Amino acid sequence: GIIAVTGDDRYRFVNGLCTSKVLDAKPGQAMASCFTTKTGRSVDLTTIAVLDDSILILCSAGRLQRLYQTLDALIFPKDNVAIQDLSLALARFQLVGPQAASVLSTTPCSASPAALPAPFQAAAWGNAGLVIHISGLASSGYTVLVPVSSAVAAWKHLALGVTELDSAAARLLGGRDWEVLRVLEGVPAPDKELTLDHNPLEAALYHTVSFDKGCYVGQETIARLHTYGGLKQQLWGVIFAKETGATAVSASALLEAKIFVAQTAGAFDREEAADGVSGGGRADGRITSVME
């Protein structure tokens, strides 16, 4: 989903709703940011790009409606703010890897991605596109926005650039590739690791939170957890030894399975008993995303 926020009060408005510091951002800057409930629970992990006349919020497709409704409900009569859903007008691609800039530079742009002065920046790409130096993953890369009418041509152009580069150092991500990298890199996703049961700090999203920006929705709870060390759970990655034969378990079967920490060796055991008790350990969590 893509939401555009316009109006003279757009900086103050967005800054008061997300965890990152938007108020002092300049056109061309971009950042990862979380939106939370009033009690600091995770709603979505987003990318915020500041343009000359608007602020773009790139959100998860499954969170678009909720986020749009939340923004709309918090616009007061005196606010000089307007929001617009651009999700059906723009297509979004991710290009990752240390040579991703080389692929993007093959298309004329007003500013070459390789020449951007700092990470997490935004610039025009072609006649009507936008390139943002943030991939949404831990991997270095870019997010490319183009009009839907140009989406097929843009995808083919980028794919050709990756092929001609003949290097694994640049990769154009489809849905499956994105999900694999997301799990490998520990990036939380809505309805999996980003739920009303978790806050951004528990979801390993410290880098999206500004602790000196002042008030925003959910700030009091998150600040208290940070100050007093109140985190009760954290996001971890677990690698299981590959099993074969009768003991083999599919990745889908692991979803929602509980994780037990052995009391002696500290090893991870997969739940095998129907009552949720395995190996004498205690349940320390559950599996929310898997890949094979």
Q: What is the pLDDT of residues 149-181, one digit of tens each?
A: 888 888 888 888 888 877 678 888 888 888 888
121 pLDDT above the threshold of 50? yes
Arithmetic mean of pLDDT, 109-120: 44
Residue 259 CB neighbour total at 10 angstroms: 18
Higher pLDDT, 105 or 52: 52
Angle at 133 (CA atoms; ends 100, 111), nearest 5 degrees? 85
Q: In Å, how far are 59, 277, 286 from 290, measured between CA atoms? A: 22, 21, 11
The DSSP-derived string for 253-277 is HHTT-EEEE-TTT--EEE--STTS-
Q: What is the pLDDT of residues 75-95, one digit of tens each?
A: 999 999 999 999 999 999 999
Arithmetic mean of pLDDT, 210-215: 90
